[in-house]
């Protein structure tokens, strides 16, 4: 091949090579461009579309957010006693990914030992892939101190978080439990005042935000943010702790003595303001353990339930405030309302003779409705007589005179068709027949004496309080102040007048009638020396379809009648101890409550007779023998007619009396037992007070004497009330005050 030919082929090959190289270069450039374009699009997507999201993710990885829990507001009674408080505790949580693998089992074991949590469950949390796990809430400070010491000793500083929190405490356990309610583990109110006023009590959480490094350690920097928590406000109730405990004490005794299968409730109201001074339910529960039955009967019933649903329903019922959530037929207590309407409308006067006739019952079309005393009819009566006798036929006749339209007009005015609007959770409304199409003659008759409709205890006491308040209806008030704990600003919630329902003249007439009921009628168990009391008993029987509900026994009273300071309503559901009349079962409870409540409020007694009211027993003033020798003291007391038991160390002729029980200055019956102690006797025997109800004076004396207890007697007949109540633990020698009264057969 010629040299020229060879060179030509070489050039041709070179050209082909360069063409291929150029083609590859173009393809490479195109690929690079496409990759660059894709990267540009991706970066644009990240920056412009997902930028905020990734910034937040990066921020969250690089920052520590510590929540500052606000302090939940305190709930006070009207005297400043704290009923619900929050104490500082801590929540322990973890970031599992920041706990080193070799430390995970050790950390889980420490949590189990120090905080009392389950080891296996905790180990699962420590080994999880989640960013956050809660280990324990509401941890006390001594446990937190122990945990911090352990972390320091084991050089573990990352992955374990300790955040400030608060825990709700109720210092008085079950006091006003069904009214106050409780909080869940997150400090959110779940019942009662705690639920209804949760937004006021809760406050707003704050937080601290700071940077952290790769090992999750905090980095001091100028960009730390501190957002202060806004603490919850305190609230002040109208409730008076002392009156509440008085109500609860005697309600508990009444429910247990009368074996009330469905419990009972008490409301005490100031009629001039609508203030609820006490609202008690029994059985109740412990606010610090709201998911556990409290009384023995509750525990027995709860443990008999077979399903979780039944148990949950039981607990919900246990925690109800039945004074506002449960309706009932008020029975003859409602005759107060019927009488007030009749007087206001002028269809009846208080003392018109032979105004009504009781023949033992009333024939209303095809229904015969009997009087409770149908075997011995009341005969001809005035309105005063009819109310004293609690005569159903008389009030059926009065209801017919008034008529449905007028009755309903006043029911509405008394607030009986509407919820009261009280600031409590769970308030229900009344149930009445519809006026336009449901009220027949029989319904009108039964409504006139308080049956076949439902109202709540709060609705009834609110209506009766209007009569006690010169005819002016007040809205019930339970919270009277809100206090901003950060600024100290106090917001007063003033009493709210709703309307004038009846005239003052009518109200005064009704109060006078109620005074007669207590002095001479079915309310005589409530009669008190030194205080004027007016009231009305109530005994409602269940409708046929609800026979298992049993009778509802109640009594409502106002005192003092001339200037009412308190209205008290006691309601007992299904008493099964043999007696169910409202005057006989609920009446003595009202008397017990008033006997302590009125003196506590500083309302003076008009009783100037200081001698013992029971003439069958001679009494002697107990002398003071402290500071004397045992020998001298025994001689003085025995000469005064008392028996003595001395407890001392050493020679009785030289040993000095340091204390005597009872204390001197009180009036005691002959042969009462006095206990003497020298200074070495620091522990004293205690005994449980027995139940004295229904006993004669002699029986009560002997029963107490067997327990080394003394007695103070008022009245004659049989014991209708005692203080302290049965079951109370007292020192030997303590005095039990008992009230006796002749048995009343017509205490309806």
Q: What is the pLDDT of residues 165-208, one digit of tens each?
A: 778 899 999 999 999 999 987 889 999 999 999 999 998 876 65
**Beta-carbon neighbour count of residue 426 at 10 Å?**
17
Predicted confidence at residue 497, as pLDDT, reads 98
Architecture of domain 64-237: Alpha-Beta Complex (3.90)
Residue whose entry in the numeric block shows the structure tokens 């209804």: 196
Reported as a pLDDT band with limits 50, 70 and 90, residue 438 is confident
Give the pair of three-digit tokens for residue 414: 């008394």
358-394 pLDDT, tens digit per residue, is: 999 999 988 999 998 888 999 999 999 999 999 999 9
For helices 296-304 and 308-318, what crossing angle results, to 10°?
160
Reported as a pLDDT band with limits 50, 70 and 90, residue 305 is very high
Percent of the chain with pLDDT over 90: 62
pLDDT greater than 60 at residue 732: yes
104-149 pLDDT, tens digit per residue, is: 888 888 888 888 888 888 888 888 877 778 888 778 878 888 888 8
Of the candidates 568, 558, 556, 560, which has an alpha carbon nearest to the alpha carbon of residue 603? 560
Most confidently modeled range among 33-42, 453-462, 574-583, 601-610: 453-462
Q: How far apart are CA 576 and CA 588, in angstroms?
A: 17
Predicted confidence at residue 13, as pLDDT, reads 59
Predicted confidence at residue 329, as pLDDT, reads 96
Which helix (H) or strand (E) covers residue 632, if one does?
helix 630-639
663-709 pLDDT, tens digit per residue, is: 999 999 989 999 999 999 988 999 999 999 889 999 999 999 999 99
Q: How far apart are CA 160 and CA 162, in angstroms?
A: 7
φ, ψ (nearest 5 deg) of residue 229: -75, 145
Q: How far apart are CA 55 and CA 73, in angstroms?
A: 38
Give the pair of three-digit tokens for residue 268: 């005490």
Architecture of domain 619-741: 2-Layer Sandwich (3.30)
Domain map of the chain by residue range? Answer: 3-49, 64-237, 331-540, 619-741
pLDDT greater than 90 at residue 741: no
Percent of the chain with pLDDT over 70: 88
Of the candidates 294, 210, 242, 256, which has an alpha carbon nearest to the alpha carbon of residue 77? 242
* Mean pLDDT over the full length of the chain: 88
Q: How far apart are CA 327 and CA 540, in angstroms?
A: 13
Predicted confidence at residue 16, as pLDDT, reads 63
Domain covering 331-540 assigned CATH 3.40.120.10 in the classification = no
Predicted confidence at residue 745, as pLDDT, reads 66
Burial-class residue 641 by CB neighbours within 10 Å (0-12, 13-18, 19+). middle
Average pLDDT over residues 587-601: 95
pLDDT greater than 80 at residue 29: no
Predicted confidence at residue 195, as pLDDT, reads 96
């Amino acid at each position: 091949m010629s040299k020229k030919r060879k060179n030509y082929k070489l050039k041709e090959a070179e050209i082909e090579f360069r063409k291929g190289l150029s083609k590859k270069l173009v393809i490479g450039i195109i690929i690079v461009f496409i990759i660059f374009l894709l990267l540009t699009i991706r970066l644009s997507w990240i920056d412009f579309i997902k930028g905020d999201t990734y910034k937040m993710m990066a921020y969250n990885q690089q920052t520590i957010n510590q929540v500052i829990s606000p302090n939940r507001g305190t709930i006070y009674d009207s005297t400043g006693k704290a009923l619900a408080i929050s104490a500082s505790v801590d929540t322990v949580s973890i970031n599992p990914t920041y706990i080193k693998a070799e430390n995970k089992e050790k950390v889980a074991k420490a949590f189990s030992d120090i905080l009392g949590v389950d080891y296996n469950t905790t180990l699962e949390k420590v080994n999880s892939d989640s960013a956050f796990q809660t280990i324990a809430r509401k941890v006390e400070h001594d446990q937190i101190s122990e945990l911090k010491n352990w972390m320091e000793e084991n050089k573990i500083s990352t992955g374990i978080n300790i955040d400030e929190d608060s825990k709700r405490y109720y210092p008085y356990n079950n006091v006003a439990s069904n009214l106050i309610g409780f909080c869940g583990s997150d400090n959110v109110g779940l019942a009662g005042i705690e639920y209804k006023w949760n937004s006021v009590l809760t406050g707003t959480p704050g937080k601290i935000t700071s940077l952290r490094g790769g090992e999750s350690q905090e980095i001091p920097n100028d960009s730390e943010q501190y957002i202060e928590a806004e603490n919850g406000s305190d609230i002040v109730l109208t409730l008076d702790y002392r009156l509440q405990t008085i109500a609860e004490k005697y309600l508990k005794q009444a429910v247990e003595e009368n074996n009330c299968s469905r419990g009972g409730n008490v409301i005490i109201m100031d009629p001039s303001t609508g203030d609820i001074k006490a609202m008690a339910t029994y059985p109740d529960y412990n606010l610090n353990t709201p998911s556990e039955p409290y009384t023995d009967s509750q525990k027995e019933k709860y443990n008999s339930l077979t399903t979780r649903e039944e148990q949950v329903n039981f607990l919900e019922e246990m925690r109800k405030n039945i004074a506002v959530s449960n309706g009932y037929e008020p029975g003859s207590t409602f005759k107060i309302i019927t009488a007030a309407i009749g007087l206001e409308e002028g269809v009846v006067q208080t003392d018109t003779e032979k105004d009504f006739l009781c023949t033992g019952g009333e024939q209303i079309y095809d229904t015969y409705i009997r009087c409770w005393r149908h075997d011995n009819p009341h005969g001809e009566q005035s309105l005063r007589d009819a109310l004293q006798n609690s005569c159903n036929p008389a009030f059926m006749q009065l209801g017919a005179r008034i008529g449905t339209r007028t009755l309903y007009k006043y029911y509405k005015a008394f607030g009986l068709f509407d919820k009261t609007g009280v600031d409590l959770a769970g308030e229900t409304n009344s149930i009445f027949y519809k006026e336009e199409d449901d009220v027949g003659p029989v319904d009108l008759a039964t409504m006139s004496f308080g049956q076949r409709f439902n109202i709540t205890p709060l609705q009834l006491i609110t209506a009766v309080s209007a009569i006690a308040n010169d005819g002016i209806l007040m809205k019930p008030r339970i919270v009277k102040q809100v206090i901003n704990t950060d600024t100290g600003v106090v917001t007063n919630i003033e009493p709210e007048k709703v309307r004038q329902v009846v005239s003052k003249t009518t109200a005064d007439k009704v109060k006078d009638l109620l005074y007669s009921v207590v002095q001479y009628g079915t309310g005589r168990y409530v009669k008190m020396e030194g205080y004027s009391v007016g009231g009305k008993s109530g005994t409602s029987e269940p409708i046929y379809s609800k026979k298992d509900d049993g009778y509802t026994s109640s009594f409502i009273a106002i005192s003092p009648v001339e200037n009412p300071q308190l209205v008290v309503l006691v309601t007992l559901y299904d008493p099964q101890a043999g007696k169910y009349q409202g005057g006989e079962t609920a009446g003595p409870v009202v008397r017990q409550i008033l006997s302590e409540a009125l003196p506590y409020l500083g309302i003076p007694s008009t009783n100037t007779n200081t001698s013992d009211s029971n003439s069958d027993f001679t009494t002697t003033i107990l002398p003071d023998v402290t500071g004397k020798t045992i020998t001298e003291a025994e001689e003085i007391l025995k000469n005064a007619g008392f028996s003595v038991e001395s407890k001392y160390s050493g020679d009785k002729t030289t040993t000095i009396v340091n204390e005597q029980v009872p204390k001197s200055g009180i009036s005691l019956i002959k042969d009462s037992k006095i206990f003497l102690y020298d200074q070495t006797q620091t522990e004293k025997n205690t005994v449980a007070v027995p139940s004295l109800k229904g006993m004669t004076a002699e029986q009560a004396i002997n029963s107490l004497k067997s327990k080394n207890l003394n007695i103070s007697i008022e009245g004659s007949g049989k014991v209708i009330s005692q203080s302290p109540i049965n079951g109370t633990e007292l020192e030997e020698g303590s005095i039990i005050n008992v009230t006796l009264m002749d048995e009343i057969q017509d205490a309806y």
